[in-house]
Each structure stands twice: as C-alpha cells, then as structure tokens.
Structure 1
Amino acid sequence: MSVKRLEVDQVFHACDLDKFTFNTTADLEPIESLSDALGQPRAVESLRFGSGMQHHGYNIFALGQPGTGRHSMVEQVLKGQFKDAPSPDDWCYVNNFEDQSRPKTLRLPSGKGAGFVKDMEKMIKDARNALKATFESEEYQNRVQSVEEELKEKQQKAFEEMNNRAREKGLTIVRTPAGIAFAPIKDNGEVMPPDEYQQIPEDARHRYEQEMENLQTESQKIFQKIPQWQKEIREKLEKLNREVAEYSLSELINGLNSQYGDIACISEHLESLKKDIMENLQTFLTGGQQQQQTGQLAGLLQQQQQQQILSGDETDMNRPAMRRYKVNLIVDNSKQEGAPIIFEDNPSYANLVGKVEHMSQMGALITDFNLIKSGSLHRANGGALVIDARKALTHPGAWEGLKRALKSDCIKIESLAEMYSLLSTVMLEPQPIPLNVKVVIIGEPFIYYIIQQIDPEFSELFKVAADFDVQMERSDANQDAYARLLGNVVANRNLLHFDKNAIGRVIEQSSRMMEDGERLNIKIRDIDDLMMEADYWARQNGGDIVKRDDVQKAIDSKIHRSDRLRQRIHEEIHRGTLHIETEGAAVGQVNGLSVMMLGDFAFGRPSRISGRVQIGKGQVINIEREAKLSGPLHSKGVLILTGFLGARYARERPLSLNASLVFEQSYGGVDGDSASSTELYALLSAISDVPIKQQFAVTGSVDQYGRVQAIGGVNEKIEGFFDVCSKKGLSGDQGVLIPATNIKNLMLRKDVVDAVGKNDFHIYPIETIDQGIELLTGMPAGEPDEQGSYPKDSVNGRVQEKLQEFADNMRKFGKGTENNEQGGKSES
C-alpha cells in the first residue's frame, strides 16, 4: 500500500511553449467578434436570446463574478442586436391648459423634438410681435375708438334728453362731487342762486322740488343703464380682440400644423394653446408683468390700458406667464444612431424613472412641467438599459420603481417624498410615457439567487439568466485563444508587447488563480492587473518587451505587498511561540494545514492538531465546537469520524471511548472539513499509541468509509508548511500528504517545485486513510481477515485491540457499579 511521491511535472503544470506559433503578442490576431469569446458560450447565447426576445418579461440578469467581462460582453451583444434598430422617438412634456398639475406628453419622430422646441418658441415670439403690431395698427385703434364712441354717444344722448326735459320744467342739470343734480334756472338760462330761490313763493318752491325729485328718479333709471352699456362695450371690445387675435394667431398656428400636424396630439395641443392665449391676451402680451393702473374706469375702455397691453419684454420666455407655452424636451434622440444602450452607473429611484424638480420663490417651493427631468428609463426607451444589481438594490425605492415600470410597460414619474408624505408642496402628476426597453441587470450569482428566492415578481420580469463562468478548459486550442485574448489586453492597455515566455507564465499563473492546472482563469480583471504590473516592472528595468522574469516579479511583488501577517506567523513558529514540529514523532499529534484569507490574498498556515482518548460512551468531542469556535462544516467533519470509527472497529461491540480533538493555539473560528482526515490520524495515533512522524503535514477531508476527499487551497497549504520547514532547515524527509484527487490542482511556487525536484521536499497523494496512516507512522495499516480482525502488529490491529480493552473495562466497570448498588439496597 506504498504511496509514490509526486514528480516535478505533477506539482506544476507548465505551459508548453513549443506549441506557440508566435514570438510576441505583436504577432497575434486580436479577438474581435463574439464568436471568439473565450469560455462564455452559454452566457453569449443567453444574452443573444434575451436581447432578441420581444415578449413581456424577457429581461436579462447577467450573473457572474466581477472581472469576468460581464459589462463588455453585454455591451457587445446589445450593440450587435440593436445596431440596425431604428432610433426611438423623442418625448416632450407640455402644459395641460385644463389642469396644470397633469402635464401632457408629446411623442415626436426621432430628431424632431429639438426642432419643435425651437419652432414653438419662435411661434410664441412671433405671436406676441404680431399681436402687438395688430393692436398698435391704425385700423384696430379706429375700431376701438368707434366702439368707445358708441358708449359716449349713448351717454351724451341720455344726458341731453334729461337736460331738455329739465328745461321744460324750468330746471337744469348741475354736476356735483356726489353726481348730477337738478336746479331751477332764471329766464336768462342761468342757474338760480340759492338766495333768490328762497325768495320765490312757497308753492313755486314746492313745485320745483317736486319736479326735481321726479327728474332725479328718472335720471337714476337712465344712469342705471350705463353699466349695462359698458358691459356691452366690453363684450364688443373682447369680441374685437378675439377676432384680431384669431386672425393673427391662425396663420402662425396653421404654419406649425402644416409642419407637425400629422403627429398625434400636436394639433390638439396647438389648438389648446391658441385658446389659452386668446383667453389671457393681456397676460400673454405683458409677459405677466403687473402695471400700475390710474383712473377709475376699468377694463379695455381707456386708451391707457391699450398701451399697457402693448408693453412688456417680448423675448423673455422664462417669465411665469410665458413658461406655460414652452416645450420641455426630456428625450432628444437627434444625435442617436440606432437604438440607445444606456449604462446607468447610479441607479437611484430618480435617476431611473425621472423626477420633478422645484424652485424657490418668496420662501415657497413651486414647480411646473418645465422642471420635469428624464431618467435613464426615458433615455433607454426603445433600446436597452444596463444597471448594477447591488447598486439598484441599495438605493431606496429604486428596485420597486424599476419593477413597477417594467410591469406596467410605462414610466410614471412619482416623487419618493410625495409617496412617503415627506414633502408638503405643489406636486405634478405627469402623464405616463409608454415603455419599451430591454433591461439587463449585472450582479453576482448569490444576489441573483437571493432575489429569485425572496421576490416573487423577479422571475416574471427577468426570465433570462446569462451565467458567466470564471474558468475554461486548458487545452492547446484554448491556450492559443487565450494568448490572443492577452494580445487584446496589451493593445487595449497600450502595454509593451509580451514575448511567448511571458505569455506562458501568465497562462500558468492563470491556472494558479483557478487552483487547477487543467483550467484557465477568465476573470479578465485579474489578468489585466497582472499584465499591467508586469509592464511596469519591464519599463522599470528599461526593457522594450515584457519577459517571463517581469511577470514573475509582478507576481512576487503583489504577494510581498500583502504578506506581512503571513511573515509574522512564520516568524513566531520559527521562534517557538507557535508550536509546529518538523522532525521527530509524537503520539496523537499531527501537523494540520489551513488557509487564511486577507482580502484577496490567501496563504497557508500550519496548525498542530492533537487528540486524546479515554474510556467513554463513544463520543468524539470537538473542543472547538464546545468553545463555539467551530463552524458547521468543521463540526460535520468531526461527526463523520465517529461514524468511521464505529463502522470499522465497533460493529460487534459498543464504541467505548471518549475522544477530544482540538486545534492547538487557535484563537479564532475554524470552519471547513479539510482537517477531518488530519483529526482522524490524530485519533488513530492516540488510540493505538503509535507515534506520528512530525516531518509531515496533512490536509484532506474524509468520508465515513475512510476515503480521502479533495479540498481547496491545496497550493497555499503546501507552501505554508514548506515555508516553515525551509525556515527551520530542509532535511529531505519533510513533506505534505494531500488527497490524490487534488493532483490536478497543483500549481506550486517555483522554490517548492525546485525542492521537489531535488528530493528536499515531498508531496504524497493519498486515496485512503490506511495509506496515510502507514506513511505517517511507518507501520502497516493492516487488512482485516474473514472475521474482521486486524493483525496485531498493524495500526488498525492496535486500534481494535485498544477499543476492545476499553469495551471490556467499560463492561467490568458497569458490573461493579451494579453490584454496589444492589449491595447497598440489601443493606437498607
């Protein structure tokens, strides 16, 4: 059952440079099409399907690890899908003259929106100028004067008729501050003075008074008609103004109608605009400026008011009275070629669905349709929108706002402050805009599966998953394609060209990143960083091309920048503070291997694992678990040991032992099952009292049948023990036991590979616990005979014998206790 140590070619899967047909990356053809996309055929197929599927709900979630090229791949697929698509329509908001709190939308063909905005502003300015010119014209002034003269004539005629009747009665009309009055006249027609009036006979005075009272009553009836005459005149003037405005505006409106009338809702809006202007002529012409009025005759009866109408700034479209006639272009596709593809870096609620801004005036917040701002859904309408899942989920209201828009197929601008009643001010309810967009969300796999689990609407809206892989097979063909990909990186980053030795080292490090000599890392971000750092060191050395040593320098430098804690731990092991033995033998003690993670830097840390046994009831106590330092996977691994011991050694009798296992000098949490085989070796050594060679370290999980299983971080674990042995001095006997199924994962450091080649350090692939215990103890594990008994001079035989002894002693102890209890009862 001997185990052969691994050879150099097994601990490092080197790149065969002879199979490369290039000398430097300058000789490589770049990867330009999606058909050349490396390692992502499933993701590309999903993206193409999702972007081409036009039915409701077929939006895409691109799930994968950061650095796998998700963004660039999504962009390439979407550009290919939408390159021939028509440019989408422009969208405008305009005033709703019937209800200003509900602005209306106008939909114009692509590129027409900006022209319509300018044409509308020009039309409004032309309308003001035309109306002013019309109202200043001699013809209009004559018609106004004619209407005013009609009122004056009626008033003059009524006054003359009343005066004639008064003269017939010997009276005349007298104007007073309180109005008109009647007074007697003398024969010469002059008003009779008061003193003379008092001297006439009383009956004559009585007659005058009676006549004056009658005339006063009649005059009141006549003058009560004046307001009605004024109303009629105002109505005639208003009708005149409407006729004049209608004539002046119709030509301008008809001009716009001829240009835009075939677009839905344009004619309706222009008609409403014309009607509003005619109803608010004075405000329109003055721009909303308030003019001080003089005199008491109101309305359009005075010439002074006509001049007032004609004053004001004709070019200021930002006055409140003029803003109502503007057009708010929120989506302008005049420069858009094909369908838009929008990458929203900050997918907040407002940035997605738009917002209504406010401005402060005299201490109050006000708003109108001109302050409606578009969101990325508006800009992407008719094309595609790409957002980051993590950002969309962390912005309040953004995720719900996105789902609401996709479910209803329209964009409805609502303020979060309004929804949560956080803002008490005038709010708008803009008319929703129909939505036709393909949404692509990019996120990590765990985010995808969490949302899918907790949000029932998610699967209805995002029916396509584009799953990005992080690795690809390391075949000869794939290595050639991978080299072309590295050539793309050189070109895109403007790096020095890499020779084929440097490319080979990058490929080897790519496999190391994947912890698999048969796979390549396609997390492009990691490769980008490595190549840029190699380029830096090449330039620092004055080179004009990047070589293998430059790549290795980049790898070593990155490790050096992060390995302070690793170095400190190894120093403490060398100083004896942390107990790790690399020579000699000990019962129940094994060098275990674990991996510590510091950000993106991982390193192996050896730990001393010890086991103690005594008579008991078949319990294997995990001290880490009892101290609440053990994770669930580690606890599971320890429980498996009980199953293995019971099945192998205690089928016919109870497992009469108690055992304890612990990571010595461990002061943090422990998780994972990669130490379960190590712990089993410690238990077998403690039970059999056979010492374990301390020049070995062990890693690997174990199942209940004693088979050693693969683990992660095998390279770091081996290198961690190698560093300790190297610091203390390599004896030529040290080595590491790893699962045989981890051979394909070996991509060790050069110094470790060199030590293996010189037989200074050894790596042994282990398939079963029996193979491992033989190597660790130097004693045969032993095979069971037909009765299930193991040879006494074997590890298994000693374990079986010791457990039999424990069972016998346990039985004797139980009988003695029973006799004592019975004796005590009889005495009583």
Structure 2
Amino acid sequence: MTGRLKPLPPGALYTPCDPADFPFATTAEIDPVEDVIGQDRAVAAVRFAIGMKHHGFNLFAMGPEGTGKYSLIRRFLELRAAGEPVPDDWGYVNNFDEPHRPRALRLPPGRAAPLAADMDRLVEELRAAIPAAFESDAYRAQRAVIDQRFKQRHEEAFGGLHERAQSQGIALVRTQAGLVLAPVADGEVLEPQDFAKLPKDEQERRTQAMADLQKELEAHLAEIPKWEKAQRQEIRKLNRQVTRQAVDHLIEEAKRPWTGLPAVLDHLEAVRRDVVENVRDFLSFEQAPEAAAQGRPPSKIEADPYRRYHVNVLVDNTCPSPVDEAEGRSDHGPACVDGRLAGAPVVYEDHPTLPNLIGRVEHLSEFGTLVTDFNLIKAGALHRANGGYLILDARKLLTQPFAWETLKRALRSRRLRIESPGEAGGLLGTVTLEPEPIPLDVKVVLLGEPQLYYVLTESDPEAGELFKVVADFDNRMDRSTGSALQYAKLIATLARRENLKSLDRGAMARVVEHGARLAGDAEKLSTHMGSIVDLVREADFWAGEEGAAVVGAPHVQKAIDARIHRADRVRERIQEEIRRGTLLVETGGERVGQINGLAVLQMHDFAFGRPSRISCRVRLGKGQVVDIEREVALGGPLHSKGVLILASYLGTRFAREMPLSLSASLVFEQSYSGVDGDSASSAELYALLSALSEIPIRQGWAVTGSVDQHGRVQAIGGVNEKIEGFFDVCRARGLTGRQGVLIPAANVRHLMLRRDVVEAVAAKSFRIYAVETVDQGIEILTGVPAGEADAKGGFPIGSVNRAVVRGLERLARLERKSEEKRLPGRRSGRRDPRED
C-alpha cells in the first residue's frame, strides 16, 4: 500500500495564473465596469425585490462584509429610482384647534419650500398691513364714535343722578373707592359733626334721599360692566372688520399659486381665522404676558408669536445645495433636472437610532422648562426615503432600542408616526406633540450576515413576513480565465476612480492568485472585494514608494508580505517559543502514542497554522476513550464528536467479537485556550493506534483531517495555513527530507501554498501526502504496512492493524484475569476469542 501512494508533486501545491491569459499590457487598456462580479444569484434576487411592489417584499441582503452588498444594491436602486416619479414633499403646519396635534401637509415635489417662503412673506406683509390699518384715520374715526357713544351713555346716566342729588342737597363725589353720595351745604361737603348740627327732620330727609339715590347709583354702576362689554364687542367687531379688510386681499393673493391644493387652501383659511381672532399679536410688540407675569425675559417660542404661521418643511425633494454636494450629504442618487430630482430617493442611514429612523420632536430648554412646537419636528430616514428606498445595516438597527419594533410597525401599518423613545417604551416623558401620521410607501433593504438573518427570522416571525426576499451574496466564485478578466475590469475601474496606477499582466496574475488563496480553494476566487481592493491600493503605495509608473507583481507581493508582517506578531511569538523548546513540538525521531496535530488560529482577518503535540496513553479499562479536553471543558462539541467517532471506528473494526477492555486518554499537550473542530480526529486516531500497537510514529510528520466511522479521512478547512505552520517549524530546525504533512485527499484542490513551501517540495526536502484512509496514513507515519483484513477478519502478521488487535487482546486477557482474582471460583462470562 505504501508503494502506491506518492507525495504530491509541486504542481499540485499551487495553481498559478498565466499572465499571457490577459489580453492587455496594463489595466489602463480596459474599459471600466460597474458590475459586481460573481453574484448572479444575489443580482437576480435584488432585481426581483426592486420590481415587486406588493406589501412585504422588502429585501434582506445577507453575506460577509466586503462582498459588495452595499455597492451592488445602491447601484441597482439608483438605476431603478431614476425612472420612478419624484415623491411628494411633506411639511407640518400648526393645528389652530389642537396645537399639540400638528397637521401633516402633503405637497407636490419641490413645492414645500416655496410654500414656506410664501407663508413667511405673508406674515411679513400682515405685520405691516394690519398695524397700518389700525393707525388709519378711518379706523380712528370709527373707534372714536364707539368711545363717544359709551361716554355719552355714561354722562346721560350719571348726569341726571347728579342733578337730582344737588336739588336735594346731596353731592355725587368721586373718591379712590369710587362714586359716593354726601350731604352738602353752600357747595361744601358737610363733615359728620356739621351734619349732626342740622335739624333732626333735615337729617332724616337727607338720609332718606341719600338712600334712594344710592339705590339708583348702584343700579347705574351695575350697568357699567354691560356697557363696557358692549363697547368691547363693538371694538372687537370693528377690529375684525378692519383686520379682514387688511387680511382678505393678502390671503386671497397667497391662495392664488395653490389653487389646485385643497389642503393648502384650507390651511390658509385657518390662518385667516386665527389672524382675525388674534390680531392683538400684530399690534403689540411688548413682552409676552406669561413671561412678564413671571418677571423673566420671553422664551424663543414666546418671543415670536408668528411661529404658528410658519411651515415646517419636513421633506424637500429639490436638488441639494452646492455645499451639501461638496460635503457628500446628499442621500439622493438621481440627477437634478430643472432644480428637481429626476427620480425617487435612495437613502442610507448609517446610524439607525429611533429618532434618526422615524424623526423626532426637539425641545428647547428655557429657564428650566422644556418647550416645543411643530417647528421643532425633524424628519427621519423614513421620511427622506418615503416614496423610494431605504438601506439599513441590520446589526446596527437591531442594537438600537425600539428601532426594530418601530420599523416593523411602520411597515405593517404603512404609516409613519413620530414618537419619542419614552413613548415607544411606554414611559411618560415631558409634554410633547402628537404629529399627524404620514402615509408610508418605501422599500427597505437590510444588510447583514447570514447567521443574523436566520436567527432573526427564527425568533421573530414578522421579520419573514416583512422581508420576504433574500439576496444571498457568496464569498467566492469559480476561477476561470473569464473570472480573472472580471477581476481585471474591476481593478481598472477602481484605478480610474481613485487615481491609482495601472497594473501590468504580472501584477494582475498575482492578484488573481491571491484571490484564490483568500477563497481557500485553487479552483475558486474570493468575492470579498474589500480585501482585493485594499490589496490593490497597498500595491499602488509600494509602487509609488519605488517611483514605478505601473504596479508590477513584486509590488503586489510586497503588499501581501507587508499585510502579513503587520498582523503576524502572535504567530512569530508561537514559532519562537517552539524553536526555544518552551512549546514542545518534535520534528525528528519516533514516539509511541504521540503525533503532531495541526490547528488554525484566526486573528481577525489573519489566519495561521499552529502545530500541537497530541499524545495518547492506554490502559486496562471499560472501553472508554477519554477526551481530556472535554473533561476539563476546553474541548468544543465538534472536537468531542470527532473523539466519539474514532472510538466507534476502533470498536467496530478491531473488537467486534471481544470486549473493548481499554481506557484511553487523548490530550492536546500545552493547550490552554480550548480546542474545537474535528480536524484533529485522524491525528488522534493515529496516536491511539500507535499506543495500542506500541509501534512508534515518526515525529517529522504532522497530520490534519477528520475521520468517519469507516476510517475514511475527510476534508478540513485552513489546509494551507496548517501546512505552512508546520513547515515553518521544520525549516527553523533544518529541513531533513524526512518531514512533511499528511492532508486529506479531498483537500488537494484547495492548495495554494507559499512559494517557499512549493520550492522545498520540489527540492524533496519537505513532502506532502494526500491520504484517503487511515490505513494509508498509518503506513506513512510508522513505515509499517497497515494490513488488510482477510475473509475471516484477521490481519497479516507484521502489520499495524494486527499489532492493534494483539494489544486489545492483551488488555482483554488482563481484564479476565482481574475478574477471576476478584471472584475466585467463578469463571468470567466472557469468552476469549481465541477459543473459537
């Protein structure tokens, strides 16, 4: 069997990209493209979601970060939105009947800002016209007539009373307390002592006269409030009449541009009524009454009584200002035509808090009090995207309190209601507004990882109902000449967009090879465009450092090496500790029950292989294979599964007709941070077979691969990093030609090894075997034939498998003897298999 298995040739370890496959000298010769490569399935889903207008067909785009989800979706949305109608503008105006419930005003695209400007001009004209009307001679004359009429009535009433009093020796005297009656003599009010000197009958007469006159005086005084009320009503009527004369033509003129919009006309009528009722605001410029009563300056809202006539423009679908465009604040993709957007909005909200999502009502802090009005209502992302498309990051959305529930409620009801976080949480906050809800028509796109989508839809049934379309972005695509050319087109586009240097054929070939390495498969290319684009940017930097006009393959390689160097401090530390003998990994000699296993450590976007010493000890027992990692809670479930599988393999292959009388312990030596995955199960099985057979394993070999219950070696991940990790240890100690790695045969297509590893294999100083079964692996590791079972299940003498059986038989005999000693006079119920 050993003779049939050969080491892998150098050509199987790395699949190069031929620069001659590119029909260009540099990427400058390629026309730029905007397509996202390798995402046909996701593109189809995005097209469907955008085209489907029925309720609930929102889109969840799932895939790893850097696969181009946002770029692809944004581009498709902008192309679709460019052909759709521009949505209406929205604003809030005062509700004069219920000020705490502002009215939402829907306007044709681009009309909200002109309406706000018209209302501001109207207020300015009213502020000038109304005072002028009240200062006119006509108003003063009419006001004088009313005042004169009241004065005349007053004089008629009190004049007759005064004459009757004088005729009876009584005077009507005005004091600080009001009008009083007093006796007089010779035109002078009598003092009490003088009044007492009058004859008694005269005193009685005058007293009775004063009592009669007092009743008449009180009757007249009781009429005064009625007269004043009538006067105020006449003045109010006059003021309304004058106000209407000053206001009506201005309101009618303001209505003229808005003839076809009943909501605007109704609002202007409400403004007319409120101005007439509150004309005093246009005539008085004194301090606000409430502020004056409290002895403080007026607040910002109190100081401007005309705020209630403004229009709060919430959504203004006009072109962004030059300042906004320069600062990149425009969320709208379509171009502007005649000062208006030529399509629906496409909005991305980077920070989807509840206020940023559905809007907010702001408050002003004035002298320890929070005050607000409809002018302080601010739009959210859903307002800006209404009638178009909204893109959100799912993880950011779900981490914001109340944001996810509020978004679902808005999508279900198709209404957008502004509420504070306190209201959303059922908590009472400060006095605030209840703005009228706005109809919602928006397509929402969530961006997130696949696991997030599956967990969300599993835990929240409404998520699947509202996001019925899934765009699944793959992290790799097939490698071919065509896909390599797509890489080149993408990089050409990037180079022109960011003013980078062009890449020559060799550099482009090296980028493609690196894409295969990132994919972990020689037959695939990574679609993680973020990593590819960053590599090109870094290669451009190194080319610039050398003064090169074009990026070449050495610059790309330098960028790759520099990225590794920045991230590999931990790897170097582990390699150093292995060289110094702190971490024990043997690369020469032979050991029974000991083998080198391979693991991969992931440090963010940098992965590297770490060799580990795996040991196994066996003794008499009850058929248990003890996973020490699991016993101390350092082994994950997948690792424990692998150990249980190898125990099953051992029992079914070697102990079908006899008891499995062993206790074996397996451990990753010097492992302190936990182990998971089943990629070490084949290595653990080799160590167990060595311990049972007492045949040593060559320590110049390292092993990776999982194993099934039939002894077949299965593929694992991180094969390139694992090989390179053991190679670095061997090279540091000196390559002998008797060192190498065993990998599953299914992993050969994944090999994209470093150049130094390939060169060492070509020089036969390092070898890599691809094994399909445990028997193939144990032969290479021990140099002893594994041995094939005959028709009776026996293995040939001198084979590893025969030695394993003998080891198990020896343990079975020891168990039988132990039972006989423990129970003298009684034979064990178990039969020695040799008695058959």
2: CA distance, partners of 1:620 / 1:528: 49
- Mean CA deviation greater in 228-237 or 205-214: 205-214
Once residues 578 and 301 of structure 2 are traced to their aligned partners in structure 1, the CA distance between those partners, rounded to angstroms, is: 80
Specify whether residues 93 and 163 from structure 1 end up closer, same or farther in structure 2 by C-alpha distance, changes over 3 A only: same
* Residues 287 and 322 in structure 1, CA contact (< 8 A), matched pair in contact too: no
Q: Establish whether residue 589 from structure 1 lines up as the match of residue 594 from structure 2.
A: yes
CA distance in structure 2 between the partners assigned to 1:223 and 1:738 by the alignment: 115
Partner AA of 1:327 in structure 2: V
Aligned residue type for 1:257: K
Q: How does 1:564-575 map to 2 (within 5 A)?
A: 564-575=569-580
1:87 match: 86
Query: What is the one-letter code of the residue matched to 1:628?
Result: A
Name the SS of the counterpart of 1:68 in structure 2.
Answer: coil
Matched, 1:629 2:640: no
| 1:234 corresponding residue in structure 2 | 232
Classify the secondary structure of the residue corresponding to 1:792.
Answer: coil
Q: Residues 545-584 of structure 1 correspond to what in structure 2 (within 5 A)?
A: 545-584=550-589
Native 8 Å contact 2:410 2:440 kept in 1: yes
* Larger displacement relative to structure 2 (232-241 or 736-745): 232-241
SS at match of 2:352: coil
Amino acid aligned to 1:268: D
Q: Distance in 2 between matches of 1:333 and 1:73?
A: 24
What is the aligned partner in structure 1 of residue 72 from structure 2?
73
Q: Which one is further off, 141-150 or 317-326?
A: 317-326
Alpha-carbon distance in structure 2 between the residues aligned to 1:717 and 1:95: 70
Report the equivalent of 2:604. 599
CA distance in 1, matches of 2:565, 2:169: 123
Partner of residue 37, structure 1 = 36
> Deviation per CA, 1:632-667, whole angstroms, max 9, x where unpaired?
111111111111111111122222222221222222
Query: C-alpha separation between the residues in 2 aligned to 1:801 and 1:611?
Result: 18
1:118 aligns with 117
Paired residues for 1:243-262 under 5 Å? 243-262=241-260
Aligned partner of 1:179 in structure 2 is 179
The question of 1:10 aligning with 2:9 is answered no
Alignment size in residue pairs: 794
Specify the alignment match of 2:381 in structure 1.
Answer: 376
* 1:571, distance to aligned residue in structure 2 (A): 2.4
Decide whether aligned partners of structure 1 residues 771 and 197 sit closer, same or farther in structure 2, where only a CA change above 3 A counts. closer
Contact 1:5 1:764 in 2 (8 A): yes
Residue identity over aligned pairs, in percent, reads 50
* Aligned counterparts of 2:39 and 2:198: Cα–Cα separation in 1: 125
- Contact between 1:515 and 1:747, CA under 8 Å: does it hold in 2? yes
| Letter of the 1:643 counterpart | S
Q: Distance in 2 between matches of 1:484 and 1:611?
A: 54
Render the CA deviation track for 1:2-30: whole Å, top value 9, x for unaligned.
21211111100111222211111111121
CA RMSD of aligned residues (A): 2.4
Question: How far 1:574 moved relative to its partner?
Answer: 2.4
Give the match for residue 497 of structure 2.
492
2:137 — aligned with what?
138
> What letter is aligned with 2:719?
V
Q: Give the 3 Å change call, closer, same or farther, for CA 37–563 of structure 1 in structure 2.
A: closer
Give the Å deviation of 1:230.
Answer: 2.2
* Pairs within 5 Å for 1:341-740: 341-420=346-425, 424-740=429-745
* Structure 1 position 681, deviation (Å): 1.1
Match of 2:157 in 1: 158
Query: Over residues 298-353 of structure 1, what are the superposed CA-to-partner deviations in whole Å (9 max), with x where a residue is unaligned?
Result: xxxxxxxxxxxxxxx9xx99724222222211111122331111111111111111
Aligned pair in 2 of structure 1 residues 635, 144: CA closer, same or farther (>3 Å)? same
Distance apart, 1:409 and its partner CA: 1.1
Q: Aligned residue for 1:308?
A: none
Which one-letter code corresponds to 1:44 in the other structure? V
Conservation of the 8 A alpha-carbon contact between 2:539 and 2:559 = yes
Q: Deviations over 1:432-478 (max 9, x none)?
A: 11111111111111111111111121111111111111100001211
Q: What amino acid does structure 2 have at the position aligned with 1:270?
A: L
CA contact (8 A) 2:778 2:786 kept: yes
Alpha carbons 2:82, 2:344 under 8 Å: kept = yes
In the alignment, what sits opposite 1:129? 128
Taking the TM superposition and a 5 Å limit, the aligned residue runs for 1:279-358 are: 279-287=277-285, 289=287, 319-335=303-319, 336-358=341-363
Partner of 1:14, secondary structure, is coil
AA of the residue aligned to 2:6: K
Matching residue's letter, 2:229? K
- Verify the 8 A CA contact 1:288 1:319 in the aligned structure 2: no
Instruction: Summarize the Cα distance change of 1:127–1:775 in structure 2 as closer, same or farther, 3 Å threshold.
Output: same
Q: Structure 1 residues 181 and 822 mapped into 2: Cα distance closer, same or farther (>3 Å)? A: same
Say which SS state the counterpart of residue 613 (structure 2) adopts: strand
Following the alignment from structure 1 to structure 2, what is the Cα–Cα distance between the partners of residues 198 and 816?
147
Check conservation: 2:614, 2:667, Cα contact below 8 A: yes
CA contact (8 A) 1:172 1:191 kept: no
Could you say which residue in structure 2 is the equivalent of 1:54?
Answer: 53
Find 1:28's aligned residue among 12, 23, 30.
30
Residues in 1 aligned to 2:302 and 2:224: alpha-carbon distance in whole angstroms = 41
Q: Decide whether the 8 Å contact of 2:46 with 2:73 is kept in 1.
A: yes
Deviations along 1:103-149, one digit per CA (max 9) or x if unpaired, are 11111111111111111111122122211111111111111111111
Instruction: Give the match's secondary structure for 2:92.
Output: strand
Distance 1:42 1:283 in 2: 65
In structure 2, runs of 5+ residues without a counterpart are: 291-297, 320-340, 829-836
Aligned equivalents of 1:362, 1:594: Cα separation in 2:
65
Asked if 1 retains the 8 angstrom alpha-carbon contact of 2:416 and 2:438, the reply is: yes
Alpha-carbon offset, residue 675 of structure 1: 0.9
Distance 1:199 1:797, change over 3 A: closer
Query: Which position in structure 1 is the counterpart of 2:215?
Result: 217
Cα distance in 1 for residues equivalent to 2:84 and 2:285:
44
Structure 1 residue aligned with 2:759 = 754
Match of 2:104, SS?
strand
- Could you tell me whether the CA contact under 8 Å between 2:168 and 2:209 is conserved in 1? no
Are the structure 2 counterparts of residues 171 and 637 from structure 1 closer, same or farther at C-alpha, using a change threshold of 3 Å? same
**Cα shift at 1:287:** 4.8
CA contact (8 A) 1:634 1:672 kept: yes
Q: Is 1:273 the counterpart of 2:271 in the alignment?
A: yes
CA contact (8 A) 1:473 1:519 kept: yes
Q: 1:740 to 1:390 in 2, by over 3 A?
A: same
CA distance in 1, matches of 2:426, 2:39: 47
TM-score (norm 1): 0.91
CA drift at 1:210: 4.0
SS in 2 for 1:604: strand
SS in 2 for 1:639: helix
Aligned to 2:833: none
Write the letter of the residue equivalent to 2:135. E
* Amino acid paired to 1:250: D
State whether residues 697 and 736 of structure 1, in contact with CA within 8 Å, keep that contact through their aligned partners in structure 2. yes
The 8 Å contact of residues 48 and 81 in structure 1, kept in 2 or not, is answered as: no
The answer to whether the Cα contact below 8 Å between 1:317 and 1:326 also exists between their aligned partners in 2 is no
- In structure 2, the CA distance between the partners of 1:822 and 1:734, relative to structure 1 (3 Å rule), is closer
In 2: Cα distance, 1:83 partner to 1:426 partner: 42
Taking a change above 3 Å as real, the CA distance of residues 254 and 654 of structure 1, as seen in their structure-2 partners, is same
Instruction: Sort the Cα spacing of 1:665 and 1:289 in 2 relative to 1 into closer, same or farther, 3 A.
Output: closer
- Alpha-carbon shift at residue 423 of structure 1 (Å): 6.3
Range 156-165 or range 89-98, more displaced: 156-165
Q: Residues 156 and 421 from structure 1, CA distance in 2 versus in 1: closer, same or farther, beyond 3 angstroms?
A: same
* C-alpha contact (below 8 Å) 2:795/2:802 kept by paired residues: yes
How far has the Cα of 1:198 moved from its partner? 8.2
Letter matched to residue 124 of structure 2 = K
